[in-house]
Amino acid sequence: MKAILEKYKFDGIWHFTDKSNIEPIVQNNGLHSLGELQRKGIAIPAPGGNQWSHDADALKGVQEYVHLAFLDDHPMLYAAKQDGRIKEPVWLKINSAILLGSGVKFTKEVSNKADVQLLTPEEAAQQIDFEVLFTYMDWKDPEIQARRRLALKSEILIPRHIPLNMILGKKNG
C-alpha cells in the first residue's frame, strides 16, 4: 500500500457520518467499529447503517472494522440519505498513513455484500482500480464511468478504532 500512496500522492481517505455524530466522536477519542461501540455501550445518534447492514456486517465479520472510502463519494452515503439515517452528512478526512497500519483490510465492493472478499494491502494494490480513482481520465467515456462506479464501492477496513489525531478535518457532504 505504501507504493500506492507514493504513486497517487493522496493524503486523506474518507468516512461519512451525520453531523449529530461529531460530538460523540470527539468525546470518545475518534471513530470506533460497530463491535467496539456495542462493547463500550456507546450510542451513536445517527448510525450510517440500518439493522440489515449491521446484521450483514456481523455475518461477514466486518463489524470489527471502521469503514472508510478512498474518495468523498461512496454509494452508501446516498442510500443512508435516502433512508433518512443521515440527515446532515459530513465527510471526515482521515490521514492516509492509517492505511499502513496493522490489520487493515480492503474490499473491491461494499464490504458486507455476499461473496465480497477481504483483501490484504498487497491484494488490494493489485485488484482495486486506483488509476480511475486518482488519475484524471475522460469521464465521458462509458467504460471509464463503469470502472469508476465500481472503484467507488471499494472500502477500507480499519480494525476497531481510528484515534481522533488521525482525523484531519471535515466537510459537509
pLDDT digits (tens, 9 = 90+) for 70-116: 999 877 877 777 887 889 999 999 999 999 999 999 999 989 888 99
Please name the residue ranges forming H helices in the chain.
2-8, 22-27, 34-40, 51-60, 75-82, 121-127, 130-134, 142-152
**Set of cell numbers at residue 38:** 456495542
pLDDT 10s digits, 152-164: 999 999 999 999 9
Q: Is 119 left (phi over 0), alpha (psi -120 to 50) or beta?
A: beta
| pTM for the model | 0.93
Question: Binning pLDDT at 50, 70 and 90, where does residue 137 land?
Answer: very high
Domain boundaries, the chain: 2-160
